[in-house]
Protein backbone atom coordinates (compact mmCIF):
# COMPACT_ATOMS: atom_id res chain seq x y z
CA UNK A 1 0.00 0.00 0.00
CA UNK A 2 1.15 3.55 -0.66
CA UNK A 3 1.74 5.91 2.21
CA UNK A 4 -1.33 7.68 3.57
CA UNK A 5 -2.85 10.56 1.68
CA UNK A 6 -2.85 13.69 3.81
CA UNK A 7 -5.26 16.57 3.83
CA UNK A 8 -7.84 14.97 1.65
CA UNK A 9 -10.57 17.55 2.06
CA UNK A 10 -11.63 17.11 -1.44
CA UNK A 11 -12.32 20.71 -2.22
CA UNK A 12 -10.93 22.86 0.50
CA UNK A 13 -11.86 26.11 -1.16
CA UNK A 14 -15.47 25.11 -1.63
CA UNK A 15 -15.74 23.90 1.91
CA UNK A 16 -14.13 26.97 3.39
CA UNK A 17 -16.39 29.37 1.52
CA UNK A 18 -19.37 29.19 3.79
CA UNK A 19 -21.99 31.86 3.97
CA UNK A 20 -23.06 33.74 7.07
CA UNK A 21 -25.73 31.17 7.84
CA UNK A 22 -23.16 28.40 8.35
CA UNK A 23 -23.52 26.78 11.75
CA UNK A 24 -20.37 25.44 13.32
CA UNK A 25 -20.82 22.27 15.29
CA UNK A 26 -20.36 22.44 19.02
CA UNK A 27 -20.01 19.98 21.85
CA UNK A 28 -23.35 19.20 23.46
CA UNK A 29 -23.61 19.92 27.14
CA UNK A 30 -24.71 16.38 28.01
CA UNK A 31 -22.89 13.57 29.79
CA UNK A 32 -21.10 11.19 27.46
CA UNK A 33 -23.11 8.16 26.40
CA UNK A 34 -22.19 4.83 24.80
CA UNK A 35 -22.55 4.98 21.03
CA UNK A 36 -25.87 3.54 19.98
CA UNK A 37 -25.46 0.66 17.52
CA UNK A 38 -28.81 0.01 15.84
CA UNK A 39 -29.47 -3.72 16.08
CA UNK A 40 -30.18 -5.85 13.03
CA UNK A 41 -33.81 -5.95 11.92
CA UNK A 42 -35.30 -9.32 12.85
CA UNK A 43 -37.09 -11.04 9.97
CA UNK A 44 -40.78 -11.85 10.44
CA UNK A 45 -40.10 -15.11 8.66
CA UNK A 46 -37.30 -16.89 6.78
CA UNK A 47 -38.35 -19.39 4.17
CA UNK A 48 -35.25 -20.69 2.41
CA UNK A 49 -33.91 -17.79 0.35
CA UNK A 50 -37.04 -15.72 0.98
CA UNK A 51 -36.86 -13.30 3.86
CA UNK A 52 -39.77 -11.26 5.22
CA UNK A 53 -39.32 -7.94 6.98
CA UNK A 54 -41.66 -5.26 8.31
CA UNK A 55 -40.71 -1.62 8.72
CA UNK A 56 -43.02 0.88 10.38
CA UNK A 57 -42.46 4.63 10.28
CA UNK A 58 -43.59 5.96 13.64
CA UNK A 59 -43.27 8.69 16.21
CA UNK A 60 -41.80 8.26 19.67
CA UNK A 61 -39.70 9.93 22.28
CA UNK A 62 -36.01 9.61 22.98
CA UNK A 63 -33.91 10.64 25.96
CA UNK A 64 -31.26 12.72 24.22
CA UNK A 65 -30.60 15.71 26.42
CA UNK A 66 -30.71 16.13 30.17
CA UNK A 67 -34.28 16.68 31.30
CA UNK A 68 -37.28 16.32 29.04
CA UNK A 69 -37.35 13.62 26.40
CA UNK A 70 -37.31 14.67 22.74
CA UNK A 71 -40.16 13.86 20.37
CA UNK A 72 -38.51 11.98 17.51
CA UNK A 73 -39.39 9.75 14.56
CA UNK A 74 -38.00 6.38 13.63
CA UNK A 75 -38.52 3.03 11.97
CA UNK A 76 -39.75 0.34 14.39
CA UNK A 77 -38.61 2.56 17.22
CA UNK A 78 -38.38 6.13 18.34
CA UNK A 79 -35.28 7.30 16.44
CA UNK A 80 -33.51 6.17 13.24
CA UNK A 81 -34.17 2.47 12.72
CA UNK A 82 -32.81 -1.04 12.92
CA UNK A 83 -30.05 -2.03 10.51
CA UNK A 84 -31.55 -3.81 7.53
CA UNK A 85 -29.44 -6.74 6.37
CA UNK A 86 -29.61 -8.07 2.82
CA UNK A 87 -27.70 -10.99 1.38
CA UNK A 88 -26.83 -11.00 -2.30
CA UNK A 89 -28.95 -13.53 -4.17
CA UNK A 90 -31.76 -13.64 -1.64
CA UNK A 91 -35.31 -12.39 -2.12
CA UNK A 92 -36.88 -9.91 0.28
CA UNK A 93 -40.54 -9.32 0.94
CA UNK A 94 -40.93 -6.11 2.86
CA UNK A 95 -44.06 -4.67 4.39
CA UNK A 96 -43.78 -0.92 4.73
CA UNK A 97 -46.17 0.59 7.24
CA UNK A 98 -46.95 4.16 8.05
CA UNK A 99 -47.97 4.92 11.62
CA UNK A 100 -47.32 8.65 11.21
CA UNK A 101 -50.15 11.04 10.62
CA UNK A 102 -48.77 12.21 7.31
CA UNK A 103 -47.66 10.56 4.08
CA UNK A 104 -44.17 9.09 3.80
CA UNK A 105 -42.18 6.86 1.43
CA UNK A 106 -39.42 4.30 2.00
CA UNK A 107 -36.51 4.96 -0.33
CA UNK A 108 -33.71 2.41 -0.68
CA UNK A 109 -30.78 4.68 -1.37
CA UNK A 110 -28.15 2.81 -3.40
CA UNK A 111 -30.17 -0.32 -4.05
CA UNK A 112 -30.53 -1.52 -7.63
CA UNK A 113 -34.25 -2.04 -7.60
CA UNK A 114 -37.01 -1.28 -10.11
CA UNK A 115 -38.56 2.17 -10.11
CA UNK A 116 -40.56 4.18 -9.43
CA UNK A 117 -42.64 2.28 -6.84
CA UNK A 118 -40.33 -0.31 -5.22
CA UNK A 119 -37.48 2.19 -5.17
CA UNK A 120 -39.58 4.25 -2.78
CA UNK A 121 -39.28 7.69 -4.32
CA UNK A 122 -42.18 10.18 -4.39
CA UNK A 123 -44.30 7.90 -6.60
CA UNK A 124 -44.56 5.34 -3.81
CA UNK A 125 -46.51 7.06 -1.05
CA UNK A 126 -47.62 5.15 2.01
CA UNK A 127 -50.52 7.04 3.53
CA UNK A 128 -51.17 7.35 7.28
CA UNK A 129 -52.38 4.02 8.61
CA UNK A 130 -51.57 2.37 5.30
CA UNK A 131 -48.98 -0.04 4.03
CA UNK A 132 -47.19 -1.12 0.86
CA UNK A 133 -45.54 -4.44 0.10
CA UNK A 134 -42.49 -4.77 -2.08
CA UNK A 135 -40.49 -7.79 -3.24
CA UNK A 136 -37.09 -7.86 -4.86
CA UNK A 137 -34.01 -10.02 -5.22
CA UNK A 138 -30.71 -8.43 -4.29
CA UNK A 139 -28.21 -8.78 -7.14
CA UNK A 140 -25.47 -6.35 -6.26
CA UNK A 141 -22.28 -6.82 -4.22
CA UNK A 142 -21.75 -6.18 -0.52
CA UNK A 143 -22.18 -2.52 0.39
CA UNK A 144 -23.37 -0.01 2.97
CA UNK A 145 -26.61 1.62 1.81
CA UNK A 146 -29.41 3.40 3.61
CA UNK A 147 -33.11 3.87 3.89
CA UNK A 148 -34.80 7.25 4.18
CA UNK A 149 -38.15 8.89 3.39
CA UNK A 150 -38.60 10.65 0.05
CA UNK A 151 -41.99 12.40 -0.09
CA UNK A 152 -40.55 15.58 -1.57
CA UNK A 153 -41.21 18.38 -0.57
CA UNK A 154 -41.36 16.86 2.95
CA UNK A 155 -38.22 14.71 2.82
CA UNK A 156 -35.91 17.05 4.69
CA UNK A 157 -38.24 17.51 7.65
CA UNK A 158 -38.95 13.80 7.97
CA UNK A 159 -35.24 12.96 7.99
CA UNK A 160 -34.64 15.81 10.45
CA UNK A 161 -37.26 14.31 12.75
CA UNK A 162 -35.32 11.05 12.76
CA UNK A 163 -36.29 8.78 9.86
CA UNK A 164 -33.18 7.06 8.46
CA UNK A 165 -31.61 3.62 8.79
CA UNK A 166 -28.50 1.85 7.64
CA UNK A 167 -28.80 -1.00 5.16
CA UNK A 168 -26.06 -3.60 4.67
CA UNK A 169 -25.59 -5.97 1.77
CA UNK A 170 -23.33 -8.93 2.43
CA UNK A 171 -21.97 -11.49 -0.01
CA UNK A 172 -19.58 -14.44 -0.18
CA UNK A 173 -16.81 -12.48 -1.82
CA UNK A 174 -16.63 -10.02 1.04
CA UNK A 175 -16.80 -12.82 3.59
CA UNK A 176 -13.79 -14.44 1.90
CA UNK A 177 -11.74 -11.33 2.76
CA UNK A 178 -12.28 -11.86 6.50
CA UNK A 179 -12.98 -8.23 7.22
CA UNK A 180 -14.16 -7.33 10.71
CA UNK A 181 -17.80 -8.43 10.81
CA UNK A 182 -18.79 -8.61 14.43
CA UNK A 183 -21.62 -6.07 14.52
CA UNK A 184 -21.26 -3.62 17.37
CA UNK A 185 -17.79 -4.93 18.30
CA UNK A 186 -15.53 -4.43 15.29
CA UNK A 187 -18.10 -3.52 12.63
CA UNK A 188 -19.69 -0.24 13.60
CA UNK A 189 -22.13 2.11 11.91
CA UNK A 190 -21.33 5.81 12.14
CA UNK A 191 -24.44 7.69 10.98
CA UNK A 192 -23.48 11.34 11.13
CA UNK A 193 -26.18 13.95 11.59
CA UNK A 194 -26.47 17.35 13.21
CA UNK A 195 -29.41 18.78 15.11
CA UNK A 196 -30.47 21.81 17.13
CA UNK A 197 -32.88 21.50 20.06
CA UNK A 198 -35.20 24.16 21.47
CA UNK A 199 -36.24 23.30 25.02
CA UNK A 200 -35.11 19.76 24.24
CA UNK A 201 -37.30 19.55 21.12
CA UNK A 202 -36.56 19.55 17.42
CA UNK A 203 -38.15 22.40 15.54
CA UNK A 204 -37.59 21.99 11.84
CA UNK A 205 -39.28 25.27 10.91
CA UNK A 206 -37.10 27.18 13.32
CA UNK A 207 -33.90 25.42 12.23
CA UNK A 208 -34.81 25.55 8.52
CA UNK A 209 -32.34 26.90 6.00
CA UNK A 210 -33.37 26.88 2.35
CA UNK A 211 -29.74 26.11 1.44
CA UNK A 212 -29.69 23.06 3.66
CA UNK A 213 -30.52 22.87 7.33
CA UNK A 214 -27.61 22.63 9.72
CA UNK A 215 -27.70 21.72 13.39
CA UNK A 216 -25.55 22.81 16.30
CA UNK A 217 -24.78 19.41 17.78
CA UNK A 218 -23.43 16.24 16.23
CA UNK A 219 -25.86 13.35 16.60
CA UNK A 220 -24.12 10.06 15.85
CA UNK A 221 -26.35 6.99 15.43
CA UNK A 222 -28.85 9.01 17.41
CA UNK A 223 -26.41 9.50 20.32
CA UNK A 224 -25.31 12.85 21.66
CA UNK A 225 -21.72 12.99 22.93
CA UNK A 226 -20.98 9.33 22.18
CA UNK A 227 -18.04 7.14 23.09
CA UNK A 228 -17.11 3.70 21.86
CA UNK A 229 -15.00 1.17 23.73
CA UNK A 230 -12.47 -0.43 21.46
CA UNK A 231 -12.02 -4.10 22.27
CA UNK A 232 -10.63 -5.30 18.92
CA UNK A 233 -7.45 -4.13 17.24
CA UNK A 234 -9.05 -3.56 13.85
CA UNK A 235 -12.42 -1.89 13.61
CA UNK A 236 -14.55 -1.25 10.55
CA UNK A 237 -16.36 2.07 10.69
CA UNK A 238 -19.21 2.44 8.23
CA UNK A 239 -19.53 6.17 7.77
CA UNK A 240 -22.82 7.47 6.44
CA UNK A 241 -23.36 11.19 6.03
CA UNK A 242 -27.04 11.21 6.97
CA UNK A 243 -27.16 14.98 7.42
CA UNK A 244 -29.57 17.23 5.60
CA UNK A 245 -26.75 19.45 4.44
CA UNK A 246 -23.51 19.10 6.33
CA UNK A 247 -20.28 17.86 4.83
CA UNK A 248 -18.13 15.97 7.30
CA UNK A 249 -14.36 16.35 7.20
CA UNK A 250 -13.19 13.36 9.14
CA UNK A 251 -9.91 12.82 10.90
CA UNK A 252 -8.68 11.53 14.21
CA UNK A 253 -7.55 13.99 16.87
CA UNK A 254 -3.98 12.69 16.42
CA UNK A 255 -4.26 12.28 12.63
CA UNK A 256 -4.07 8.51 13.02
CA UNK A 257 -4.43 6.97 9.55
CA UNK A 258 -7.33 4.82 8.41
CA UNK A 259 -7.91 2.72 5.33
CA UNK A 260 -10.96 3.14 3.15
CA UNK A 261 -12.15 -0.19 1.78
CA UNK A 262 -15.56 0.61 0.44
CA UNK A 263 -17.48 3.47 -1.19
CA UNK A 264 -21.24 3.92 -1.74
CA UNK A 265 -21.81 0.82 -3.85
CA UNK A 266 -19.29 -1.64 -2.46
CA UNK A 267 -15.65 -2.56 -2.03
CA UNK A 268 -13.02 -0.39 -3.68
CA UNK A 269 -10.70 -2.07 -6.17
CA UNK A 270 -7.78 -1.22 -3.84
CA UNK A 271 -7.65 -0.07 -0.24
CA UNK A 272 -6.78 3.62 0.15
CA UNK A 273 -5.01 4.91 3.21
CA UNK A 274 -5.90 8.41 4.39
CA UNK A 275 -5.67 10.52 7.44
CA UNK A 276 -8.42 12.94 6.36
CA UNK A 277 -11.60 12.16 4.48
CA UNK A 278 -14.53 14.30 3.42
CA UNK A 279 -18.05 13.06 2.85
CA UNK A 280 -20.98 15.02 1.43
CA UNK A 281 -24.59 14.23 2.25
CA UNK A 282 -25.71 10.65 1.56
CA UNK A 283 -22.19 9.41 0.74
CA UNK A 284 -20.83 6.35 2.51
CA UNK A 285 -17.29 5.21 3.20
CA UNK A 286 -16.27 2.11 5.10
CA UNK A 287 -12.84 2.42 6.68
CA UNK A 288 -10.68 0.11 8.75
CA UNK A 289 -8.89 1.62 11.72
CA UNK A 290 -6.03 -0.27 13.29
CA UNK A 291 -5.92 0.69 16.96
CA UNK A 292 -2.96 -1.65 17.68
CA UNK A 293 -0.55 1.19 18.32
CA UNK A 294 -2.58 2.51 21.27
CA UNK A 295 -2.34 1.36 24.87
CA UNK A 296 -5.20 0.31 27.07
CA UNK A 297 -6.66 3.45 28.62
CA UNK A 298 -5.74 5.73 25.70
CA UNK A 299 -8.41 7.97 24.26
CA UNK A 300 -8.60 9.25 20.70
CA UNK A 301 -11.46 11.14 19.11
CA UNK A 302 -12.88 11.43 15.65
CA UNK A 303 -13.23 15.01 14.60
CA UNK A 304 -14.84 17.01 11.87
CA UNK A 305 -12.79 20.14 11.47
CA UNK A 306 -11.62 20.63 15.05
CA UNK A 307 -14.71 19.39 16.81
CA UNK A 308 -14.57 15.97 18.46
CA UNK A 309 -17.80 14.07 17.86
CA UNK A 310 -16.95 10.47 18.72
CA UNK A 311 -14.58 9.30 21.45
CA UNK A 312 -12.76 5.98 21.23
CA UNK A 313 -11.65 4.55 24.56
CA UNK A 314 -9.01 1.95 24.05
CA UNK A 315 -9.66 -1.28 25.92
CA UNK A 316 -7.82 -4.58 26.05
CA UNK A 317 -6.90 -6.55 22.94
CA UNK A 318 -3.93 -8.16 21.22
CA UNK A 319 -2.38 -5.97 18.52
CA UNK A 320 -2.68 -7.16 14.96
CA UNK A 321 -1.38 -6.20 11.56
CA UNK A 322 -3.77 -4.96 8.95
CA UNK A 323 -3.38 -7.59 6.29
CA UNK A 324 -5.42 -6.59 3.32
CA UNK A 325 -5.10 -7.99 -0.18
CA UNK A 326 -3.85 -5.59 -2.86
CA UNK A 327 -7.12 -6.10 -4.69
CA UNK A 328 -10.38 -5.97 -2.76
CA UNK A 329 -12.77 -6.21 -5.67
CA UNK A 330 -12.82 -6.25 -9.44
CA UNK A 331 -14.86 -3.39 -10.79
CA UNK A 332 -16.01 -4.28 -14.32
CA UNK A 333 -14.74 -1.89 -16.96
CA UNK A 334 -17.92 -1.41 -18.96
CA UNK A 335 -17.55 -0.06 -22.47
CA UNK A 336 -19.86 2.87 -23.20
CA UNK A 337 -22.15 2.32 -26.17
CA UNK A 338 -21.25 5.82 -27.33
CA UNK A 339 -17.70 7.11 -26.66
CA UNK A 340 -19.01 10.67 -26.20
CA UNK A 341 -21.15 11.84 -23.31
CA UNK A 342 -24.78 11.48 -24.33
CA UNK A 343 -26.29 13.30 -21.39
CA UNK A 344 -25.38 16.56 -19.69
CA UNK A 345 -27.02 17.77 -16.57
CA UNK A 346 -26.46 21.04 -14.78
CA UNK A 347 -26.94 21.87 -11.13
CA UNK A 348 -27.14 25.60 -10.53
CA UNK A 349 -28.01 28.19 -7.96
CA UNK A 350 -28.26 28.56 -4.24
CA UNK A 351 -31.13 29.28 -1.86
CA UNK A 352 -34.51 29.11 -3.60
CA UNK A 353 -32.78 29.70 -6.94
CA UNK A 354 -31.52 26.11 -7.13
CA UNK A 355 -32.36 24.36 -10.40
CA UNK A 356 -31.55 21.19 -12.27
CA UNK A 357 -31.13 21.95 -15.96
CA UNK A 358 -32.77 25.30 -15.32
CA UNK A 359 -35.96 23.65 -14.11
CA UNK A 360 -37.76 22.69 -10.95
CA UNK A 361 -38.92 19.12 -10.35
CA UNK A 362 -42.19 18.02 -11.87
CA UNK A 363 -43.36 14.55 -10.81
CA UNK A 364 -45.24 14.05 -14.06
CA UNK A 365 -42.44 15.05 -16.40
CA UNK A 366 -39.87 12.55 -17.70
CA UNK A 367 -36.72 14.61 -18.16
CA UNK A 368 -34.61 12.07 -20.01
CA UNK A 369 -34.64 8.44 -21.06
CA UNK A 370 -31.99 5.75 -21.26
CA UNK A 371 -32.19 2.24 -22.56
CA UNK A 372 -32.03 -0.60 -20.03
CA UNK A 373 -28.49 -2.06 -19.68
CA UNK A 374 -27.00 0.53 -22.01
CA UNK A 375 -23.70 1.99 -20.76
CA UNK A 376 -23.70 5.77 -21.11
CA UNK A 377 -21.41 8.65 -20.27
CA UNK A 378 -22.95 11.55 -18.41
CA UNK A 379 -21.49 14.95 -17.71
CA UNK A 380 -22.63 16.43 -14.44
CA UNK A 381 -21.91 20.13 -14.00
CA UNK A 382 -22.18 22.43 -11.03
CA UNK A 383 -22.29 25.93 -12.52
CA UNK A 384 -22.87 27.50 -9.20
CA UNK A 385 -20.65 30.53 -8.83
CA UNK A 386 -22.75 32.77 -6.59
CA UNK A 387 -20.59 33.78 -3.61
CA UNK A 388 -17.97 31.20 -4.66
CA UNK A 389 -20.68 28.59 -4.94
CA UNK A 390 -21.23 25.45 -2.97
CA UNK A 391 -20.82 21.71 -3.37
CA UNK A 392 -23.93 19.96 -4.65
CA UNK A 393 -23.92 16.21 -3.96
CA UNK A 394 -25.33 14.58 -7.09
CA UNK A 395 -27.27 11.35 -6.62
CA UNK A 396 -28.96 8.93 -9.02
CA UNK A 397 -31.50 6.29 -7.96
CA UNK A 398 -31.64 2.71 -9.18
CA UNK A 399 -28.00 2.19 -10.07
CA UNK A 400 -24.37 2.48 -9.09
CA UNK A 401 -22.08 4.42 -11.41
CA UNK A 402 -18.36 4.92 -11.98
CA UNK A 403 -16.60 8.27 -11.77
CA UNK A 404 -14.18 8.78 -14.67
CA UNK A 405 -12.94 12.39 -14.62
CA UNK A 406 -13.28 15.55 -12.65
CA UNK A 407 -12.84 18.53 -14.98
CA UNK A 408 -10.83 16.28 -17.25
CA UNK A 409 -8.51 15.24 -14.41
CA UNK A 410 -8.12 12.01 -12.53
CA UNK A 411 -10.74 11.37 -9.91
CA UNK A 412 -9.91 11.21 -6.20
CA UNK A 413 -8.07 8.17 -4.90
CA UNK A 414 -11.20 6.77 -3.26
CA UNK A 415 -13.46 7.17 -6.31
CA UNK A 416 -12.44 4.08 -8.24
CA UNK A 417 -15.31 1.98 -6.99
CA UNK A 418 -19.09 2.12 -7.28
CA UNK A 419 -20.77 5.38 -6.38
CA UNK A 420 -24.34 6.62 -6.26
CA UNK A 421 -23.63 10.07 -4.84
CA UNK A 422 -20.75 12.41 -5.64
CA UNK A 423 -19.92 15.85 -4.38
CA UNK A 424 -19.58 18.12 -7.40
CA UNK A 425 -17.47 21.16 -6.64
CA UNK A 426 -18.49 24.67 -7.75
CA UNK A 427 -17.62 25.21 -11.40
CA UNK A 428 -16.74 21.57 -11.90
CA UNK A 429 -17.89 18.99 -14.46
CA UNK A 430 -17.71 15.35 -13.49
CA UNK A 431 -17.78 12.59 -16.09
CA UNK A 432 -19.51 9.41 -15.00
CA UNK A 433 -20.23 6.07 -16.62
CA UNK A 434 -23.69 4.84 -15.84
CA UNK A 435 -25.72 1.72 -16.54
CA UNK A 436 -29.16 0.86 -15.27
CA UNK A 437 -29.96 -2.83 -14.96
CA UNK A 438 -33.50 -2.31 -13.69
CA UNK A 439 -36.31 -0.60 -15.61
CA UNK A 440 -38.39 2.20 -14.19
CA UNK A 441 -38.62 5.89 -13.56
CA UNK A 442 -35.87 7.09 -11.26
CA UNK A 443 -34.94 10.38 -9.62
CA UNK A 444 -31.62 12.13 -9.98
CA UNK A 445 -30.98 15.12 -7.80
CA UNK A 446 -28.90 17.16 -5.44
CA UNK A 447 -28.84 15.37 -2.08
CA UNK A 448 -28.85 18.50 0.05
CA UNK A 449 -32.31 17.64 1.30
CA UNK A 450 -33.68 21.18 1.18
CA UNK A 451 -32.43 21.60 -2.41
CA UNK A 452 -34.13 18.34 -3.32
CA UNK A 453 -37.35 19.49 -1.65
CA UNK A 454 -37.16 22.86 -3.42
CA UNK A 455 -37.05 20.97 -6.70
CA UNK A 456 -33.39 20.44 -7.64
CA UNK A 457 -34.45 17.07 -8.96
CA UNK A 458 -35.48 15.41 -12.21
CA UNK A 459 -36.42 11.95 -13.41
CA UNK A 460 -35.15 9.48 -15.94
CA UNK A 461 -37.10 6.67 -17.53
CA UNK A 462 -35.13 3.47 -18.06
CA UNK A 463 -36.91 1.62 -20.82
CA UNK A 464 -36.68 -1.82 -22.29
CA UNK A 465 -37.57 -1.54 -25.98
CA UNK A 466 -38.84 -5.12 -25.85
CA UNK A 467 -41.16 -4.46 -22.92
CA UNK A 468 -42.51 -0.93 -23.07
CA UNK A 469 -44.23 0.14 -19.84
CA UNK A 470 -46.61 2.98 -19.25
CA UNK A 471 -46.06 4.36 -15.75
CA UNK A 472 -48.67 6.16 -13.79
CA UNK A 473 -46.79 9.17 -12.52
CA UNK A 474 -48.49 10.78 -9.56
CA UNK A 475 -48.87 14.50 -9.23
CA UNK A 476 -47.59 16.03 -6.04
CA UNK A 477 -51.17 16.50 -4.96
CA UNK A 478 -51.93 12.80 -5.49
CA UNK A 479 -48.83 11.84 -3.56
CA UNK A 480 -49.84 14.00 -0.63
CA UNK A 481 -53.48 12.89 -0.39
CA UNK A 482 -54.82 9.40 0.15
CA UNK A 483 -57.35 8.93 -2.69
CA UNK A 484 -59.47 6.67 -0.48
CA UNK A 485 -59.95 9.44 2.07
CA UNK A 486 -61.48 12.86 1.64
CU1 LIG B 1 -31.06 9.33 -0.90
CU2 LIG B 1 -33.46 10.44 -3.96
O3 LIG B 1 -32.27 9.90 -2.39
CU1 LIG C 1 -31.58 7.46 -3.69
CU1 LIG D 1 -27.64 21.40 -3.96
> For the chain, which residues make up each domain, given as ranges?
30-171, 179-314, 343-480
Average pLDDT, integer, range 156-165: 98
Q: Is the pLDDT of residue 112 over 90?
A: yes
Q: 30-171 and 179-314 share one CATH topology?
A: yes
Q: How far apart are CA 324 and CA 417, in angstroms?
A: 17
pLDDT value, residue 485: 82
Q: Which residue has the CA at smallest separation from atom 1 of ligand 1? A: 109
Please report which ligand is nearest the Cα atom of 352. Answer: 3
pLDDT value, residue 18: 66
Q: Are 387 and 19 in contact (CB under 8 A)?
A: yes
Give the tens place of pLDDT for each residue, 381-411: 999 776 678 899 999 999 999 999 999 999 9
pLDDT value, residue 1: 47
Looking at CATH, the fold of the domain delimited by 343-480 is given as Immunoglobulin-like (2.60.40)
Q: How far apart are CA 142 and CA 147, in angstroms?
A: 16
pTM of model > 0.95: yes
Kindly give the distance from the C-alpha atom of residue 428 to the centroid of ligand 2, in angstroms, as a whole number: 22
Give the tens place of pLDDT for each residue, 232-249: 999 999 999 999 999 999
Query: Residues with Cβ < 8 Å from 1, sequence gap 6 or more?
Result: 259, 271, 273, 324, 326
Average pLDDT, integer, range 127-140: 98
Please report which ligand is nearest the Cα atom of 149. Answer: 1
pLDDT value, residue 161: 98
Of the candidate CATH numbers 2.60.40.420, 1.10.287.1260, 2.60.40.1930, 3.40.390.30, the domain formed by 30-171 belongs to: 2.60.40.420
Kindly give the distance from the C-alpha atom of residue 36 to the centroid of ligand 2, in angstroms, as a whole number: 25
Average pLDDT, integer, range 143-169: 98
Q: Are 415 and 402 in contact (CB under 8 A)?
A: no
Q: Is the pLDDT of residue 254 over 60?
A: yes
pLDDT value, residue 3: 67
List, chain by chain if needed, residues with CB within 6 Å of any ligand 1 atom.
Answer: 107, 109, 148, 150, 282, 395, 397, 443, 445, 447
Q: Is the pLDDT of residue 15 over 70?
A: no
User: What rounded mean pLDDT belongs to the chain?
Assistant: 95
Q: How far apart are CA 287 and CA 238, in angstroms?
A: 7
Average pLDDT, integer, range 320-341: 94
Give the tens place of pLDDT for each residue, 44-93: 999 999 999 999 999 999 999 999 999 999 999 999 999 999 999 999 99
Q: Thinking of the domain 179-314, which architecture would CATH place it in?
A: Sandwich (2.60)
Amino acid sequence: MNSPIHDYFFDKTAFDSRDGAYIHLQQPNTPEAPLNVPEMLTPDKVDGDDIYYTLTAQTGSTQLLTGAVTQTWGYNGSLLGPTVLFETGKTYHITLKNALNEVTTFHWHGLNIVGPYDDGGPHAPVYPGGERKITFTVDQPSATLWLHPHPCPETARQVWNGLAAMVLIKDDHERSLNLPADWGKNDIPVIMQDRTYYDNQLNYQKSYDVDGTLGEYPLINGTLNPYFEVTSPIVRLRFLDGSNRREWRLHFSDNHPFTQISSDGGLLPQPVEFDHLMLTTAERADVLVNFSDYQEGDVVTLQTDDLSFLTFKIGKFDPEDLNLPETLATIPDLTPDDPEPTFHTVMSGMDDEVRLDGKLFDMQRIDTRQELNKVALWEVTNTNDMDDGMIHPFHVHGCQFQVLKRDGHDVYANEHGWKDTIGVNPGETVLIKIQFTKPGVFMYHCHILEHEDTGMMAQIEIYDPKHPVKYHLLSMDEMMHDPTKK
